Structure 1
């Protein structure tokens, strides 16, 4: 029979373990989102091939994919296991998001790019939040590179700006009536 005392349950070692476990949950949740975001960005670049939107999305798609890989590397450095079921869930959620009708059953709606860009922008906001969180933790965690995290945070902010500009360009084609 285990008779832990109250002080054992609230010991610094237990708190560190709990914090590490929660960080693992947090980072795996963000990895699921990053997986969906990378898939969405690639899908947008492919589905708009030959347009200005695709040309703008291709480098963002590459960066989002690279950011996802960096998140996995950071998790490895922190000895946080990747929960593959969450990666799968991120892929499934992104693909399920493609099934929305947007007012059209057979072909893409003019509303699709606007909604996709909004979803990506929200995803990049989440990515900026995880980079900021890790940056805040970097002061006490020598396995985190503050310079890398600053760079990733700046890139996420730049991506937010680009996605917002692209989103605003889609408002007219999607929503203005003739």
Structure 2
């Protein structure tokens, strides 16, 4: 891999680690707002998977001579917090529409993470195998889609 390619991959991974930071915060919020539901229970598993994948991505970044950007991570955290201010039929309370929009956001972030794993597989970084993480994430995407379908029905039917 050329030094320019390594630099690009370091920037790419730092960006994705920031997205993952926002994804973690959003998943925690959705879990908290949907306590004692199948969605909340599922999101515990989802967060555990994120907790397993995040250090592995950090390790790849370190192997390439990079480190996560604290500024990007803080920005992602802030965007998630600001995203709570959207109007979903109620300014102060969680709504069925909030659930739909937040599940759509989680699905978008999970799909971006899946794309990142495919990119890392294509880069063929020595000592790393992203196939199992990708397969697990495919299952999570399917489950998120199922929860989103249910949330849409509840909010819009």
TM-score, normalised to structure 2's length?
0.93
RMSD over equivalenced CA pairs, Å = 1.4
CA–CA distance in 1 between the matches of 2:60 and 2:84? 30
CA–CA distance in 2 between the matches of 1:18 and 1:98? 38
**Any gaps of 5 or more consecutive residues in structure 2?**
none
Aligned length: 157
**Any gaps of 5 or more consecutive residues in structure 1?**
1-14
Partner residue of 1:169 out of 143, 150, 153: 150
Q: Find the counterpart in structure 1 of residue 50 from structure 2.
A: 64
Map Cα deviations across residues 82-105 of structure 1 (whole Å, 9 max, x no partner).
Answer: 211111111111111111121211
Query: Shift of residue 45 of structure 1?
Result: 1.2
CA–CA distance in 2 between the matches of 1:53 and 1:95? 21
Of structures 1 and 2, the larger Rg is shown by 1
CA–CA distance in 1 between the matches of 2:116 and 2:44? 23
Residues 31-40 or 66-75, more deviating: 66-75
2:92 corresponds to 1:92? no
Q: Which has the higher contact order (CA 8 A, sep 6+)?
A: 2
Query: Shift of residue 29 of structure 1?
Result: 0.9
Runs of 4+ in 1 over 3 A off after TM superposition: none
CA–CA distance in 2 between the matches of 1:98 and 1:106? 10
TM-score, normalised to structure 1's length?
0.83
